[in-house]
Amino acid sequence: MDLESAFKEFLEVAMGAVNLDALPESHFPKHKSDYYLEDRKSIFEIKTISSDRADAFQPWLQKRVENSSEVKNGMPVVFGTVSFKRLYEGHSNKELFHRQLDSLAARTLADYVRSSKKQIHATKKALDCKDAYGFLVILNEKFQFYETWFVYRMVQMHLREVASETPHLKIDGVWYINESAKSERGVEVVFIHDSEELEELEELEDISANEILDHLALEWAKYREYIFT
């Protein structure tokens, strides 16, 4: 079973979360999240990384080749038709392309945070549970470009922006599950907050956001049959 299907099954079947998509649309006049775990008062919005942003990178590269002598002159000599990936990997200034790839990937993560904060907030209002936690779950099954350290850094930066600029839309935590390099490094699972100081996080009925994520992550690891080392 693919990662997204397995995770949704885990929440709904193993943990007893309510699938909000199964509720009438009339319950949600605006946005809505994916699941609500009532006994933990937790709302979950799930985003699955479905591209390494090559689709956006190719037209950018084509435009730069046409308009920048620096880019054009640094291209490797090729014969026939080659992939654009081979072109930029053989370029004399690969750092230029790495920065652009980072920018495109960061834009995807920013979109996840931006849309999720609205969906979670709207779900709290629709379900009349304004004191519930709101979590974003990012799933990555196969795109190794989204390395854990990079996702952590980018997402935390955007979470801090949300907490500072729109505190009423704050996301209580992000759970990143990275299975893209499972055969080489194993599965990487991290929790991301806007602050490194977990003691500063607000607690709900003596249960912190991180304790909820810790519990769910342990249950998920068993459910997915991860190997502990």
Determine the residue type at 198.
Answer: L
Domain assignment present for 151? yes
Vertex 181, ends 179 and 185: CA angle to 5°?
Answer: 105
Domain assignment present for 103? no
Two tokens at 132?
A: 């519930």
CB atoms within 10 A of CB 4: 16
Domain assignment present for 81? no
Domain assignment present for 86? no
Domain assignment present for 36? yes
CA 68/CA 106 separation, integer angstroms: 24
Helices and strands (H, E) in the chain, number of each type: 8, 8
Domain assignment present for 19? yes
CA 13/CA 18 separation, integer angstroms: 9
42, β-bridge pairs? 37, 133
Contact between 7 and 137 under an 8 Å Cβ cutoff? The reply is: yes
- How far is residue 45 CA from its own chain's centroid? 10
Give the dihedral sign, CA 197/198/199/200: positive
Range of the domain at 138: 3-51+114-224
> Would the pLDDT of 204 be above 90?
no
Domain assignment present for 159? yes
pTM of the model: 0.81
Least confident stretch, 54-68, 103-117, 153-167, 206-220:
54-68
> Would the pLDDT of 61 be above 70?
no
pLDDT at 66: 59
- Give me the number of domains the chain comprises: 1
Domain assignment present for 145? yes
Mean pLDDT, rounded, for 72-86: 49
DSSP single-letter state for residue 226: P
pLDDT at 127: 92
Vertex 182, ends 152 and 10: CA angle to 5°?
Answer: 80
Indicate the Cα dihedral angle 89, 95, 100, 105, nearest 10°.
Answer: 80
DSSP single-letter state for residue 199: G
pLDDT at 78: 42
